[in-house]
């Protein structure tokens, strides 16, 4: 699905506040409420909109330790390994990557001991060759939103 300016404006409104009503979005985008409804339904159908979530500051809930863990897996074991890792409640992201590692894992913990236990469990798996854990010292930016209008398509 190719997004037009209206779709991008609707997405921008949802990025600001996913609880906005269709009428508030319609007013901000300067289209009819029915247009907003239809566009959002199409975006959901195309799985561009995967859900609506709260933007939580986990550090205020005690999850002060953010770890970025590079994982190297044994040949052919990566997909299953990633699925297992993704099921852990502390894991926020799992990425297939190029470079020195097969996957990068982002996880948040309340205590250093929980991070230590998580890494040791990873390393004890038969399908893990090695890991490299980095602990975040300071979060400068953390969001899942990007500016859709700054992306220029080359023709």
Question: Is residue 154 scored above 60 in pLDDT?
Answer: no
> What's residue 140's pLDDT?
94
In the chain the domains, ranked by start, together with CATH numbers, are 5-45 (1.10.10.10), 58-135 (3.30.70.920)
Q: Convert the pLDDT of each residue in 94-131 to its tens digit.
A: 999 999 999 999 999 999 999 999 999 999 999 999 99
- As to burial, measured by CB atoms within 10 angstroms (0-12 exposed, 13-18 middle, 19+ buried), residue 119 is middle
Beta carbons of 11 and 44 less than 8 angstroms apart: no
Task: Considering only residues 147 and 131, tell me which one the structure prediction assigns the higher pLDDT.
Answer: 131
> What's residue 10's pLDDT?
95
Q: How far apart are CA 148 and CA 3, in angstroms?
A: 10
Alpha-helical runs (H) found in the chain: 5-16, 22-29, 33-45, 78-86, 112-124
Q: What is the pTM of this model?
A: 0.83
Q: What pLDDT band is residue 151 in, cutting at 50, 70 and 90?
A: low
Q: How far apart are CA 153 and CA 32, in angstroms?
A: 28
What 3-state class would DSSP assign to 58? helix
CA 137 to chain centroid: 20
């Amino acid at each position: 699905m190719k997004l037009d300016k209206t779709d991008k404006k609707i997405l921008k409104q949802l990025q600001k506040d996913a609880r906005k009503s269709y009428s508030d979005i319609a007013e901000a985008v300067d289209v009819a409420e029915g247009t907003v409804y239809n566009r959002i339904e199409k975006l959901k159908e195309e799985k561009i909109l995967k859900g609506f979530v709260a933007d939580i500051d986990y550090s205020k809930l005690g999850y002060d330790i953010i770890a970025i863990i590079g994982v190297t897996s044994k040949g052919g074991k990566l997909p299953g390994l990633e699925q297992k890792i993704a099921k852990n409640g502390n894991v926020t992201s799992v990425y297939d990557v190029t470079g020195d590692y097969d996957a990068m894992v982002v996880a948040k913990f309340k205590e250093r001991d929980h991070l230590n236990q998580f890494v040791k469990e990873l390393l004890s798996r038969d399908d893990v060759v090695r890991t490299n854990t980095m602990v975040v010292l300071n979060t400068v930016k953390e969001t899942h939103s990007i500016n859709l209008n700054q992306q220029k398509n080359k023709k």
